[in-house]
Amino acid sequence: MFLIFCTAEDKNKIESSISRLKAEVAALKGELDAIKRQPDSTAELKAQLATLKGELDAIKRQPDSTVELKAELATLKGKLESQPDFTAELQTQLETYKAAITNQLREMFQVQIDALKKENDTLKDEVDALKRQPDSTVELKAQLATLKGELDAIKKENAALKDEVDKLKQQISNPTTPPTSPTPPTPPTPDEKIFYLKPNDAAFISNDIEKIPAQIAKALNVDDMKNFLIANDSETSKKFQKLLNVHFKAVKSFADKLKLKDLDDEELSETVTSKYFKLFQQIIFDNLLLAIQRGVKTSDDFYAEFLAKLNAYLEQCGIYSVNVKAGVKATDDDYKNMSLQNVKTSNKNLAGVINQIERLPYRINYLDEFGEQKFFQYNGMMSLYKAV
The span from the first CA to the last CA of the chain, in angstroms, equals 167
Among 268, 284, 326, 381, binds other proteins (CB under 8 A): 381
Q: Is 256 in the site for other proteins (CB under 8 A)?
A: no
Q: Is 343 in the site for other proteins (CB under 8 A)?
A: yes
CA torsion through residues 62, 67, 70, 72, sign: negative
From 143-151, 180-188, 193-201, 204-212, span contacting other proteins (CB under 8 A)? 143-151
- Please list the residues that pair with 376 across neighbouring strands: 364
221 CB neighbour count, 10 Å cutoff: 15
Q: Which residues contact 370 (CB under 8 A, 6 or more apart)?
A: 266
Q: Is 323 in the site for other proteins (CB under 8 A)?
A: no
For other proteins, the closer of residues 91 and 274 by Cβ is: 274
H/E run at residue 377: strand 373-378
Buried b vs exposed e over 50-75: b needs ≥16 C-beta within 10 Å?
eeeeeeeeeeeeeeeeeeeeeeeeee
Among 207, 215, 269, 271, binds other proteins (CB under 8 A): 271
Among 36, 79, 132, 198, binds other proteins (CB under 8 A): 132
**Using alpha carbons only, what angle is made at residue 314 by residues 310 and 319, rounded to the nearest 5 degrees?**
150
Q: Is 192 in the site for other proteins (CB under 8 A)?
A: no
Q: Which of residues 70-129 bind other proteins (CB under 8 A)?
A: 114, 118
For other proteins, the closer of residues 9 and 135 by Cβ is: 135
The type of residue at 256 is D
User: Residue 250 — φ and ψ, nearest 5°?
Assistant: -65, -40
Among 138, 172, 202, 214, binds other proteins (CB under 8 A): 138
From 19-27, 67-75, 308-316, 352-360, span contacting other proteins (CB under 8 A)? 352-360
For other proteins, the closer of residues 97 and 335 by Cβ is: 335
354 CB neighbour count, 10 Å cutoff: 22
Binding residues vs other proteins (CB under 8 A): 114, 118, 131-132, 134-135, 138-139, 141-143, 145-146, 246, 249-250, 264, 267, 271, 273-275, 277-278, 281-282, 286-287, 290-291, 294, 335-344, 355-356, 358, 361, 369-370, 376-379, 381-384, 386, 388
